[in-house]
Amino acid sequence: MLKRFVGRMGMRELQGRDPAEVRTVFLMLFMFVFLNADVMLMVPSFRAIRDEFGKNEAAIGLVASLFVFSGAGIALVSGYLADRYPRKLLVFFTILLGEIPCLLTGYVRSFEELFLIRALTGLGIGGLMPLIYSMIGDLVTDKERATASSWIGLAEGVGLALGMAVAGNLVERTDVAFLGASGWRLPFVLAALPNFILAPLFLLLAKEPPRGGGERSIQKELAQGLEYKRRIKLRDYLTIFRNRTNLYFILQAVPGTIGWGVLPNWVVAYYQEKNVSAALATNLNLLIGLGMILGGFFGGILGDRLHRRNKKYSPILCGITTLLGLAFFLAMLHWPLPDHPAVADMAGPLAIGIVGGFLITVTSSNIRAIVLNVNPPENRGAMMSIFTLSDSIGKGLGPVLGGVLIVAVGYIWTMDLATLAWIPCALVFLFLLAPQYPKDAAHLDQLMAERAKEMEQSL
């Protein structure tokens, strides 16, 4: 049954895999949903937290930024471990590493406690990313990696939306309590609990995929019982940085993710400053997030189809949709509103924002597939950790940078600057990655063909 379902999901290659490996994919996706539910829990609560602890936007933004930076730091360690040791156990402990502090956030009593506990919570998100993509790279080939990434992105988006929806609707409900938590604290408790069930199930039912299982060049050798024995060495990091596709990816990631750091974290407060209610502003953000989820999902499927025709089409798709997406976001932010907007007044920015969200996230699934497609199996965890680090620099700076800029120049200038930060991304995709990526993907195919011969000679 699961095998038929993954075929309908667009990952037909998984139909030929061990059923335990298929279960592994589903369990990872569900755990990823609830782990990501934590990420946006603070966003609808920024003003409530600010008022309770007597802090300004810059201080609250610093807490959100530290959450991301702590995840970026642990990602480097996690990526190295992913390329050397069994990932199943690493996934289990990483989930707990994130969810225990998330649960404890529901019981903080001072700003200092919140500051510390959110830093610890970020370790789970940052540590899981290299692990999950390393495993996906060994489960499907380059023909379906963007589609597989789109499902991971869908799980991430559902988690973000779920967390924001719960927090947005409970932040002002001090009359609702569970396990001693209420108000803005309660969503953290609710978000953490499911993974305390799913993580042990993963440990019992999941299966470690064979290294290199997603490489067509060595699948015959793996089917013969041979093992891909190469593991990362510290000197391999130099090889990673000699790969131009990797370098161009990092070049576009840092400025681009400033937008991802500022806009999702401050757009609710931006509309609240325009006298939009917290619930309405949160629901607006949720519906824009729905557009983003769909864009990342269908963008990955489209990217795989284009990739099978010509590899350069994937980065071209990313560049064009990024430029179009940021234009729609600028139009949304500058849509004229009355002094006290009602639901009907938000129809215009909502429609424009959904389209912008769809377009801007087409990149997300495709860039992860591109990274997997130019790095050998023993380096993928490390490269995805660098991906997480570079991604997190922008996202981590986003909340605190947004808070500082809002204090200095106001909301609208801050939102405009964050949106325009996506322009360098698009230019890198169109003029650097489009011509380089096919060359580096072909080089990896040649390298893995040589590794196949080495494996046969070991018989």
4-51 pLDDT per residue, tens: 666 666 677 777 778 888 889 989 999 999 998 888 787 777 777 877
9-23, 191-205, 430-444: least confident range: 9-23
Q: What is the mean pLDDT of residues 168-191?
A: 77
Judged against a pLDDT cut of 90, whether residue 165 lies above it is answered with no
> Dihedrals φ, ψ of 45, to 5°?
-105, 5
Judged against a pLDDT cut of 70, whether residue 325 lies above it is answered with yes
Highest mean pLDDT among 42-51, 127-136, 322-331: 322-331
pLDDT value, residue 65:
72
Q: pLDDT-derived band of residue 459, with 50, 70 and 90 as boundaries?
A: low
Instruction: Please choose, from the candidates 124, 121, 118, 125, the residue with its C-alpha nearest in 3D space to the C-alpha of residue 59.
Output: 118
Q: What's the Cα-to-Cα distance from 16 to each of 3, 143, 183, 445, rounded to whole Å? A: 8, 15, 48, 22
Judged against a pLDDT cut of 70, whether residue 424 lies above it is answered with yes
Instruction: Please choose, from the candidates 258, 237, 240, the residue with its C-alpha nearest in 3D space to the C-alpha of residue 248.
Output: 240
Q: What is the mean pLDDT of residues 384-410?
A: 79
Contact 163, 187 (CB under 8 A): yes
pTM for the model stands at: 0.83
> Higher model confidence: residue 108 or residue 88?
88
Q: What is the mean pLDDT of residues 181-195?
A: 86
Q: What is the mean pLDDT of residues 408-433?
A: 94
Tell me, which fold does domain 2-457 have in CATH? Growth Hormone; Chain: A; (1.20.1250)
Q: What is the mean pLDDT of the chain?
A: 87
pLDDT value, residue 436:
97
pLDDT value, residue 6:
63
What are the residue boundaries of the structural domains of the chain, listed by start? 2-457
Q: What is the mean pLDDT of residues 77-95?
A: 93
pLDDT value, residue 289:
83
Instruction: Please choose, from the candidates 418, 391, 388, 423, the residue with its C-alpha nearest in 3D space to the C-alpha of residue 405.
Output: 418
Q: pLDDT-derived band of residue 2, with 50, 70 and 90 as boundaries?
A: low
Q: Cα 442 to chain center, whole Å?
A: 27
Q: Which two tokens stand for residue 75?
A: 């990602």
Cα–Cα dist 364/370, whole Å: 10
Q: Which two tokens stand for residue 414?
A: 């801050």
Judged against a pLDDT cut of 80, whether residue 133 lies above it is answered with yes
Q: What is the mean pLDDT of residues 373-402?
A: 82
Judged against a pLDDT cut of 80, whether residue 312 lies above it is answered with yes
pLDDT value, residue 18:
80
Q: pLDDT-derived band of residue 1, with 50, 70 and 90 as boundaries?
A: low
Contact 278, 286 (CB under 8 A): no
Angle, CA 402 vertex, CA 396 and CA 406 arms, to 5°:
165
Highest mean pLDDT among 14-23, 346-355, 392-401: 346-355
Q: What is the mean pLDDT of residues 241-259?
A: 88
> Higher model confidence: residue 445 or residue 235?
445
Highest mean pLDDT among 29-38, 276-285, 394-403: 29-38
> Dihedrals φ, ψ of 181, to 5°?
-115, 145
pLDDT value, residue 17:
76
> HEC profile for 223-262?
HCCCCCCCCCCCCHHHHHHHCHHHHHHHHHHHHHHHHHHH
pLDDT value, residue 94:
94
Q: pLDDT-derived band of residue 394, with 50, 70 and 90 as boundaries?
A: low
pLDDT value, residue 388:
79
